[in-house]
Amino acid sequence: MKRSLIMACALWAAVYAWAQAPADAPSAAAILARIDSNESFKSIEYTGRMEIRIGEEFRIKTMRVQAIGADKAMVEFTNPEDAGTRMLKLDKDLWMYFPKEQDTVRISGHLLKEGMMGSDVSYEDALESDELSSTYSATVTGEAEIGGRRAFVVELKALTPKAKFDRRVMRVDAERFVVLSEDMYARSGRLLKTMEARKVERLGGRWYPTVFVLEDKLRKNTSTTMSLGSLVLDIDLDPGLFTRAALER
């Protein structure tokens, strides 16, 4: 008796959920898979430009980024103040090379989660790709219009405590399956960060956000606009690029 009641409730809930979803929407899992095929990568190379706004002040940092997976990355800053400063990430270890001092400094792993050069973009944001399908469960909770484009509102819940964020709410382009905007939450429920894509470009067979704005929500009045130029995904990068020797070259 009890068991059949639970079954009935579950059935009703499923039907209700199906009725609420947009008629032509793909499943949430399918949406995540489509995002992954657009936005996740095995390797990446680009020239980046960060426009960091802190209150009324603006700072520009430019850099060249090369990265493989989540464990190898090399960044060289090219804006005049930081020109020649290089950063090597090998798994969770981080080194910075300062050309004026000709000195290499090892940096605490905690910094990986902090804003890069005072921006709202963390090292993880800039260097690593997200594999959504395997990390989150998702439900489509509605639709929205972002910058004149139709989008699905998808809510992601971490499947594992190791996920970068505990909960994420994404507005996903209904046609291109690129994340147009996103709110990222900590386990405590606090909003940590928001992202808003400003420009989405077609690269080969995939769509990729090349200009986006990140806001660290633990600070007020700051935002960083990141623009990616000469972007290439999934090319073969020489592993020799990611060594201490290459850092101090």
Binding site for another protein (CB under 8 A): 92, 108-110, 113-114, 160-166, 186-188, 190, 192, 218-221
Residues 6+ apart with CB under 8 A from 221: 53, 54, 55
The DSSP code sequence of 14-74 is: HHHHHHHS-TTPPPHHHHHHHHHHHH--SEEEEEEEEEEEETTEEEEEEEEEEEETTTEEE
Of 163 and 197, nearer to another protein (C-beta) is: 163
Nearer Cβ to another protein (90/186):
186
CB of 218 to another protein, least distance (A): 5
Distance of alpha carbon 113 from alpha carbon 157, whole angstroms: 20
Q: What is the C-alpha separation between 248 and 96, in angstroms, rounded?
A: 9
Minimum CB separation of residue 125 from another protein in Å reads: 11
74 or 184, CB closer to another protein?
184
Rounded distance, CA 201 to CA 184, Å?
A: 23
We find the least distance from the C-beta atom of residue 49 to another protein, in angstroms, to be 24
Kindly state the smallest distance separating residue 214's Cβ from another protein, in Å. 14
Q: Is the Cβ of residue 186 or residue 213 nearer to another protein in the bound state?
A: 186
